[in-house]
Amino acid sequence: MQPVNLFELASQKASWLAVRQTAVSSNIANANTPGYAAVDVQPFEAVLDQKTVAMRATHVNHLPATNSGAGFSVSQANDSVPIMPSGNTVTLETELMKSGEVRRDMELNTAIVKAFHRMLLMTTRG
């Protein structure tokens, strides 16, 4: 089993949450725009499934490591909500629930990083 870098994982999760919050806020901003289709980001679990753990060069004499981009796929939401007569697919209740999920996940992500950082500091101080 390969070690997991918690700080890198938390950074990727924070980036994913920022992209998701942008998608949700865009949906809310366009709630009354005729023909607007709601968008959402692929689940973070799918992002993790696509990532492979690879070696990273830490010295100039090391072999170069290939680094895959951490782009997140944003596509039309697949919530199977009814389309409004204007062609809009945004449901404010759903978007506000997603916004709450993003906030809760960001708080959890931050709390985990803080706890890990405190634990790391305690071990280095003795």
What is the rounded average pLDDT for all residues in the chain? 80
How wide is the angle at C-alpha 30 spanned by C-alphas 26 and 32, nearest 5°? 160
Q: Is 94 in contact with 79 (CB distance < 8 Å)?
A: yes
- Tell me what the mean pLDDT of segment 32-55 comes to: 79
Q: Is residue 24 pLDDT above 70, yes or no?
A: yes
Comparing C-alpha atoms, which of 21, 122, 6, 8 is closest to residue 74?
21
Q: Is residue 65 pLDDT above 50, yes or no?
A: no
Integer Cα distance of 32 and 81 in angstroms: 15
Instruction: Establish if 1 belongs to a structural domain.
Output: no
User: pTM of the full predicted structure?
Assistant: 0.70
Band (pLDDT 50/70/90 cuts) for residue 67 is: very low
Band (pLDDT 50/70/90 cuts) for residue 68 is: very low
Number of domains in the chain: 1
Boundaries of domain holding 85: 6-125
If one counts every other C-beta atom within 10 angstroms of the C-beta of residue 24, the result is 24
Q: Is residue 96 pLDDT above 80, yes or no?
A: yes
Q: Is residue 76 pLDDT above 60, yes or no?
A: yes
CA distances in angstroms from 99 to 28, 70, 75, listed in the order given: 10, 22, 17
Instruction: Establish if 97 belongs to a structural domain.
Output: yes
Integer Cα distance of 71 and 33 in angstroms: 27
